Each structure stands twice: as C-alpha cells, then as structure tokens.
C-alpha cells in the first residue's frame, strides 16, 4: 500500500494523540486569554485546502482586535505564541477533521487563489500541512518563489521518511526560539 493511502490514518491517530497529550498546554493558553480578557481566543481564516476547496483554519489569536498598524496590535502573549509556533496548536483540529495534514504545503488565504500559476496550483493536490518543507528551510525568510519550489518538490516526493524528517526538523526549530518575522512577510502578489 503506498504511503499516500496511509498518510491520512497516521495524521488522524497522531493528531488525536497530540491533542490529548498537549491538552494541559491548551488549558494554560486558554486560561491566559481568559485571565487577561483577550477575546476572541481563536483566529479563524478561510484558507485553500486540498483540490482548492476552502476550509476554516484555526489558530490562537496573536494580535489585539481593532484597526491600526500591526505593530500597535502586538502583545506579549501573541509574541510568545508566534515565537514558539504554539499559535498553530489548534490546527490539530483541522488535521483531525481531515482538512489538513501534519506535513504538507502551508495553506494560504483564499484571496491568493487567482494569483497562482498552473504550476503553483499543483501544491493543492495534497492536504496542506501544519509544517512543511518550506517551513523547515527558511519559513518567512525566503521568497515566495522559493516556498513554492519547496512545496512542489514535497508534493512530488511525499514519503513516510520524508515526513518524519520534516517533523523532526520542525521540533528542532520550535526549541530554537528564533525571532518571529511572520507579520513582516509581504503578501503574495502573483509575481
């Protein structure tokens, strides 16, 4: 049986295990939001899924509500969650529901869909991931062209050992506490 048939059952089992084993962390994060009266707790955004079907991606909200520049809406809790990538934790629900995979190209906002070239659209032939090849090779510090190149390479070379390798690299990056530059990333313009 090819790995592509085993990937979904493995994602389901691992996401359930991770949700249960990290439930204490969920509780701590949610309590910190409640105690500091920061609502809503979750950020939900429509993203592009497998075969270009939209779905609602869920994350912990990391910016204060309201208008104004991003810089003025940052807060300590959000900065900490982004730096440790713990804001991505709720996406385990997306994995459990079958909308995402643990490893795959990152899901992008639906407004980017008309901007993709036919080649770039091939990244949507598999489920998007919480982490992926582009994330462990530069994440927000590389160009959109490089990200898509990594995504397409992954789509063509999906394997169990490759997924294990990417997840191991992801764990290493989580504990590196590198400065988060995700809010500085320029929007994709199709060029």
Could you read off the pLDDT of 1-58 as tens digits, one per residue? 688 889 999 999 999 999 999 999 999 999 999 998 888 999 999 999 999 999 999 9
Site of tokens 């900490």: 80
Q: What is the spatial distance between Cα 188 and Cα 171, in angstroms, rounded to a whole number?
A: 27
What is this structure's pTM? 0.91
Q: Which tokens is 62 given?
A: 């990391």
Pairing of strands 101-103, 129-131: parallel
pLDDT at 61: 92
Task: Give the model's confidence band at 75: pLDDT under 50 very low, under 70 low, under 90 confident, else very high.
Answer: confident
Q: Which tokens is 150 given?
A: 């990594």
Site of tokens 């709720």: 90
User: Tens digits of per-residue pLDDT, 129-186?
Assistant: 999 999 999 877 899 999 999 999 999 999 999 999 999 999 988 777 666 656 667 8
């Amino acid at each position: 049986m090819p790995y592509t048939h085993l990937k979904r059952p493995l994602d389901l089992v691992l996401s359930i295990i991770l949700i249960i084993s990290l439930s204490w962390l969920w509780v701590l994060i949610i309590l910190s939001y409640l105690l500091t009266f920061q609502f809503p707790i979750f950020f939900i955004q429509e993203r592009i899924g497998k075969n270009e079907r939209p779905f609602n991606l869920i994350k912990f909200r990391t910016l204060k509500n309201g208008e104004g520049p991003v810089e003025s809406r940052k807060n300590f809790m959000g900065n900490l969650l982004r730096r440790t990538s713990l804001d991505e934790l709720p996406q385990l629900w997306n994995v459990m529901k079958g909308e995402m995979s643990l490893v795959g190209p990152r899901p992008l906002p639906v407004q980017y869909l008309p901007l993709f070239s036919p080649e770039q659209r091939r990244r949507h032939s598999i489920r998007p991931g919480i982490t992926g090849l582009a994330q462990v090779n530069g994440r927000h510090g590389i160009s959109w062209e490089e990200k898509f190149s990594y995504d397409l390479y992954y789509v063509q070379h999906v394997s169990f050992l490759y997924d294990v390798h990417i997840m191991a690299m992801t764990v290493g990056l989580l504990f590196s506490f590198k400065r988060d530059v995700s809010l500085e990333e320029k929007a994709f313009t199709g060029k």
